[in-house]
């Protein structure tokens, strides 16, 4: 059985929990307190971060790498596009998410960050989301009509917008409506930890 070492409020671990619940197979989630990492985690992941996935003699880290493995191991429902060109585009978009949005996560999660640094991260995230927002006046999900790995990758950030103090301006409305669609999925609801449930009223 797959075992996921998961931070209870970690947005990257949240991505992997969503995929596990979307696939609906047997797995075990081991809650990790990221403020006091268990010693064996550094052995499994040289960067000493969660999430970490263990299945028999395979140990994986990096949320997107873990998620692609789960998707290939349990192909239904398929979350990466089947077509190689679309698949390559999806990977590029996942990379762009990391560079434009998730790069700010460390600051937004850092209790000791200064207001100036925090505000700069909030504005950068809001501006990137504003650029994507018009897409959702035309389509239901990131890649079109179907739910995919792109929706999984961004959902934990959308869930945390209020928690991170990101201002909800009018141009964000289409992406906020899209976010509500993601949050209403049963797998998303099941993926939430008590800490994450407390992030939104």
Residue 156 is a binding residue for ligand GSH (CB under 6 A): no
Q: Is the separation of the CB atoms in 70 and 23 below 8 Å?
A: yes
Query: Cα–Cα distance between 86 and 83 in angstroms, integer?
Result: 5
**What is the phi-psi region of residue 24: left when phi exceeds 0, alpha when psi lies from -120 to 50, beta otherwise?**
left
Least distance between ligand GSH and beta carbon 173 (Å): 28
Q: Tell me if residue 16 is catalytic.
A: no
- 15-44 binders of ligand GSH (CB under 6 A): 34, 37
What residues are paired with 4 via a beta bridge? Answer: 29, 53
Residue 117 is a binding residue for ligand GSH (CB under 6 A): no
Residue 62 is a binding residue for ligand GSH (CB under 6 A): yes
Using the rule CB under 6 A, give the single segment among 5-13, 111-119, 159-167, 174-182 that binds ligand GSH. Answer: 5-13
Residues 6+ apart with CB under 8 A from 108: 118, 121, 122, 125, 160, 164
Contact residue for ligand GSH among 50, 70, 154, 192 (CB under 6 A): 50
Residues that bind ligand GSH (CB under 6 A): 7, 10-12, 34, 37, 48-51, 62-63
């Amino acid at each position: 059985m797959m075992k996921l070492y998961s931070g209870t409020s970690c947005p990257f671990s949240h991505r992997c929990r969503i995929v596990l619940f979307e696939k609906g197979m047997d797995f075990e989630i081991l809650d990790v307190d990221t403020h006091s990492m268990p010693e064996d985690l550094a052995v499994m992941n040289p960067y000493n971060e969660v999430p970490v996935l263990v299945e028999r003699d395979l140990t994986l880290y990096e949320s997107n790498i873990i998620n692609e493995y789960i998707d290939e191991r349990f192909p239904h429902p398929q979350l990466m596009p089947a077509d190689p060109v679309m698949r390559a585009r999806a990977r590029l978009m996942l990379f762009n998410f990391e560079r434009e949005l998730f790069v700010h996560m460390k600051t937004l999660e850092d209790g000791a960050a200064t207001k100036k640094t925090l505000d700069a991260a909030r504005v950068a995230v809001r501006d990137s989301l504003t650029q994507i927002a018009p897409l959702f006046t035309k389509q239901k999900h990131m890649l079109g009509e179907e739910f995919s790995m792109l929706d999984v990758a961004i959902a934990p950030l959308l869930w945390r917008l209020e928690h991170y103090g990101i201002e909800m301006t009018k141009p964000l409305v289409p992406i906020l409506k899209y976010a509500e669609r993601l949050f209403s999925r049963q797998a998303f609801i099941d993926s939430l930890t008590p800490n994450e449930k407390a992030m939104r009223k």
